[in-house]
Chain A
Amino acid sequence: MTVMAPILAPTGIDCAPVLRERGQREVFCGLTGIIWLHRKIQDAFFLVVGSRTCAHLLQSAAGVMVFAEPRFGTAIIEERDLAGMVDCNEELDRVVDRLLARRPDIKLLFLVGSCPSEVIKLDLSRAGQRLSLKHAGRTKILNYSGSGIETTFTEGEDACLAALVPDLAASAPGAAPELMIVGALPDVVEDQFLRIFAQLGTTTVRSLPARRAGDMPPVGSNTRFLLAQPFLGETARALEDRGAVRLDAMFPFGAEGTTNWLHAAAVAFGIDEMHFRSVIAPGRERAKRAIEHCRTKLAGKSIFFMPDSQLEVPLARFLAQELGMVPLEVGTPYLHRRHLAQDLALLPRETVISEGQDVDKQLDRVRAAKPDLTVCGLGLANPLESEGLTTKWAIELVFSPIHGFDQAGDLAELFARPLRRRDVLKV
């Protein structure tokens, strides 16, 4: 076993000055989070109250999932609802009653706010309370906003989980410390983490969200939580309001990120350092081996992140620290400095951090910088490719298993593949 350097928590909370921009933003709204959340919570249904645009967005983003009768839908607001010919709340009750009558398997219903529903000031929280009473004992009804005016892409998951928190059971007084992993992870990744924690000997480990509405974890002052995703600011605050304590760590990407993240829990639960190292050694070694073959491809290559999901900072850290890439600009829709402190501290000094977007100005910077790889959304990827730049489309980073030791190789490969393709094509 190789001797590991001591794991130091970086102290530099402050990073380089951040470039803040306002203007046209080429990003998804929070409704998009439904696409993976509805797969994660198996007995939940997500009902968007919105317009045809919302339904159109969901089907464009969900692609083929729509055809499997997914657990989401849109209650499309019509002229009649706006003209006051019918009462919006009565209409909503009618839609919900019909939906629940047909889907008795639904234990948790989210009423998801959209731009139109918020502009017409349709109070979904009151509707949720009213309907919860009506369907008490069978279906719990919660609400959150996934609208573009409130949320950007992954912030939809944040809003959804934050809506779950007040509803969580309270831990028993004086209960032993428990660990909570916060953020929807693919099942396979979640299982890997649970196995490692079991080997480490941390007592109870729960996930938020759980896979079923009835299995949501309790919360209290004995709760220690690790954020698995960097976009969960509201959820973290809601958990802290209920007495839970956040364990500060890097995000679990690559060998280093995952080690640091696991270590934060190990320290908090008083796990013996030698035991910790021996438990994680095999996974850590596998991760390092798996990313090694991408390093030759990626080392020294420059990368430019356009804002999308808030995963940009920890991913740039992984690519810079573990693969030797050079991040030129790391754009993020929102920068949570406290949660990202450890990842930020490991970014090269020269890296520009930008928050928000003025898309045309940012594209000017991309063209001027000519990065080897540009991470951007699907609305920009082909246009940039046709200008001769190589791109990696960002959404895949949210939809693929990328966390933890055993996905480190896959994660590196996601960035290496577009460059390899660029080199093999002779057309």
Chain B
Amino acid sequence: MQLTVWTYEGPPHVGAMRIATAMEGVHYVLHAPQGDTYADLLFTMIERRGKRPPVTYTTFQARDLGKDTAELFQSAARDAFERFKPQAMLVGASCTAELIQDDPSGLAEAMRLPIPVVALELPSYQRKENWGAAETFYQLVRKLADKDLRAAPREGRRPSVNLLGPTALGFRHRDDVVEISRLLGTLGIDINVTAPLGASPADLARLGAADFNICLYPEIADTACRWLEKTFGQKTVHTIPIGHGATRDFIAEVAALAGVDAAAALDDSRLPWWSRSVDSTYLTAKRVFIFGDATHAVAAARVARDELGFEVVGLGCYNREFARDIREAAKLYGLEPLITDDYLEVEDAIAKLQPELVLGTQMERHIAKRLRIPCAVISAPVHVQDFPARYSPQMGFEGANVLFDTWVHPLVMGLEEHLLTMFRDDFEFSDSAGASHLGHGSAPAPTRHPGPVPGSTAPQAPSAQPEEWTPEQVRGDVAVVATGWSPEAERELLKIPFFVRGKARRNTERYAAEQGIAAITLDTLYDAKAHYAR
């Protein structure tokens, strides 16, 4: 058993729901107890869909267990078929139904429905959401693709590709598809099928007619792409077009496979100039910590270092299936990768590193807020604000523009706060003004550090979270050894802007430990500052 408060991924059947909801004409009959319908509201609320996900749950209860839950499943499947008239059906079990072993696959087969029925085996106690989505998409492709279909000879026609991977509840999938489709259009390439998002079973049947495949999101489409490669001999484009450089690489790879001229599409983003303009000089070597799904984390690291001039000090992902990609990437930055689905480990790493910017998921947003570090979101899981109304892709040249604005925004806010802090004693400013990006009426966060501050004059706002566990408490680690700070040094530390205060404290204590200094004085603080000067 694993004690969990928060999970980066849902169970695998939620991944299957993401595929079913993304597609047209597919219905998912899920053998599941009453209550599992909570997952509907991820789609109706977070993604704001105006339609119910195409999922029928058997919603069995205790009183059904003594009787025939298998019969319940068949009648639910029959009713769903009659009411929704899907072109294809997915059948499977959630974690509880997996335990009662009703075999949806055999039960559905016995019904002899006049449509393709894809039975899903999603091991709930080993696998998670992304794996469930990938497996579901792969099984659908395998079942529905017309295996006799091949791309027509290339004479006198434009090249054509399949765009694979976008799903429901995918981070910015909606706009990424628009951006990449536009880009392919500029190159003179036709899109044969985009799937699963917006595709029907009939569309999946036509997959074989494309010249090659573009795997936009490996977490979802990698398995299906490998099968298509084997079955139809279609090559796969593996470059993920996130960032300016990666988009150019992507164009080059696509153009080479399609035999077209890449020049037409190289219409640059504004990112390079924005990044070179003098206003961005202060971004140089800002220490950034990156965490998310492997694809977005690896792409973000390249953009951070090569296109914004940050220093990547931490890199990790929560989906173990793609650990190899993260390991490869981490080597480029001389880092030890963090591969974990335990957010407390991530919090620990961030607290230890004291980066100046965190790029992560919804969870890192909260961790960063607690540690008072600027943060931007680069990967699912995300909350409702990251399914925006406005056009905001991550991919392609417009995506690069979006990345620049999104990542720099919290830092500019940081500067604003810096000024507030600098002029804290100015009669018109005060610490209690709070941070602008934390919304109106936000009190300054309580300072969190290992020991009490003797003679502290920092205003202590009442904590909105009276019962935080520190990572040390949670993991029972040895608490950070609180070195003795002299009151004078403590007061000096409080004059340092809050967003570098953590780093200054850490550096000073490390320096004191290395030098064998027991009591930290003003001199120690400034000696350490000089020692670590970059």
Interface residues of A (CB under 8 A from B): 23-32, 49, 51-53, 55-57, 59-61, 66-79, 81-82, 88, 91-92, 94-95, 98-99, 101-103, 105, 115-116, 118-120, 147-150, 152, 360, 377-383, 385-386
Contacts and interface: CB of A to CB of B under 8 A. Distances in A.
A27 B44 contact: no
B347 to A, nearest CB: 10
Contacts of B61: 148-150
Interface in B12-51: 13-14, 33-42, 44-45, 48-51
Interface of B: 1-7, 9-11, 13-14, 33-42, 44-45, 48-52, 56-62, 64-65, 76, 79, 83, 94-96, 99-100, 123-126, 128, 363, 366, 370, 464-465, 467-469, 473-474, 476
A25 B59 contact: yes
A152 B191 CA distance: 47
B36 A53 contact: yes
A95 B1 contact: yes
6 contacts: A51-B11, A56-B14, A67-B363, A102-B474, A149-B34, A378-B44
B3 A53 contact: no
Contacts of A51: 11, 95-96, 124-125
B473 A26 contact: no
A49 B1 CA distance: 9
Given A102-B474, A381-B44, A95 B3 contact: yes
A77 B1 CA distance: 5
A102 B344 CA distance: 14
A389 B525 CA distance: 64
Given A102-B473, A149-B65, A24 B59 contact: yes
B3 A98 contact: yes
B173 to A, nearest CB: 19
Given A68-B465, A116-B99, A60 B11 contact: no
A55 B38 CA distance: 12
Contact of A120 (B38, B59, B99): B99
Q: Which 9 A-B pairs have the closest CB atoms?
A: A29-B35, A148-B35, A386-B50, A379-B40, A115-B96, A67-B366, A51-B95, A378-B41, A148-B34
Contacts of A78: 1-2, 125-126
Contacts of B60: 149
B468 A69 contact: yes
Nearest to B124: A51
B7 A55 contact: yes
B37 A27 contact: yes
B11 A52 contact: yes
Given A57-B38, A119-B100, A381-B44, 18 more contacts: A28-B35, A29-B34, A31-B35, A52-B11, A52-B128, A53-B96, A56-B14, A60-B38, A68-B465, A68-B468, A69-B5, A76-B3, A101-B476, A103-B469, A147-B62, A149-B65, A360-B79, A380-B40
Contact of A119 (B1, B99, B125): B99
Contacts of B42: 60
A102 B4 contact: no
B11 A150 contact: no
B99 A75 contact: no
Nearest to B56: A24
A383 B47 CA distance: 12
A69 B44 contact: no
B41 A76 contact: no
A15 to B, nearest CB: 24
B99 to A, nearest CB: 4
Nearest to B65: A149
A92 B5 CA distance: 16
A119 B41 contact: no
A147 to B, nearest CB: 7
Contacts of A118: 62
Contact of B1 (A57, A76, A102, A103): A76
A56 B59 contact: no
Contacts of A68: 464-465, 467-468
Contacts of A116: 95-96, 99
Contacts of B57: 24
B41 A379 contact: yes
Contact of A56 (B7, B58, B125, B468): B7
Nearest to A333: B34
Given A53-B11, A69-B467, A116-B95, A75 B1 contact: yes
A386 B43 CA distance: 14
B120 to A, nearest CB: 15
In the complex, which of the residues A74, A94, A101, A120 has the most CB atoms of chain B within 10 Å of its own CB atom? A74
A26 B37 contact: yes
Nearest to B381: A59
Given A24-B59, A56-B10, A78-B2, A69 B41 contact: no
Contact of B51 (A32, A67, A386): A386
B5 A70 contact: yes
Contact of B4 (A23, A28, A61, A73): A73
Contacts of A25: 34, 37, 59
B2 A76 contact: yes
Contacts of A56: 7, 10-11, 14, 39
B50 A27 contact: no
A383 B467 contact: no
Contacts of A385: 50
Given A101-B476, A152-B34, A82 B125 contact: yes
Nearest to B38: A57
Contact of A91 (B1, B14, B49, B363): B1
A335 to B, nearest CB: 16
Contacts of B474: 102
Nearest to B46: A60
A392 to B, nearest CB: 15
Contacts of A82: 99, 125
Contacts of B65: 119, 149
A362 B286 CA distance: 57
A91 B35 CA distance: 26
Contacts of A91: 1
A148 B50 CA distance: 26
B14 A119 contact: no
Contact of A59 (B7, B14, B37, B83): B7
Nearest to A378: B41
Contacts of B52: 379-380, 383
A354 B363 CA distance: 41
B95 A382 contact: no
B465 A69 contact: yes
B1 A81 contact: yes
A382 B37 CA distance: 15
B320 to A, nearest CB: 14
B41 A377 contact: yes
A118 B96 CA distance: 9
Given A149-B60, A378-B41, A360 B36 contact: no
Nearest to A94: B1
A57 B13 CA distance: 13
Contacts of B125: 51, 77-79, 81-82
A380 B55 CA distance: 13
A102 B476 contact: yes
Nearest to A380: B52
A73 B3 contact: yes
A383 B11 CA distance: 24
Contacts of B2: 75-76, 78
In the complex, which of the residues B9, B48, B50 has the most CB atoms of chain A within 10 Å of its own CB atom? B50
Nearest to B48: A382
Contacts of B11: 51-53, 56
B352 to A, nearest CB: 19
Contacts of A77: 1, 125
A68 B5 CA distance: 11
Contacts of A72: 5
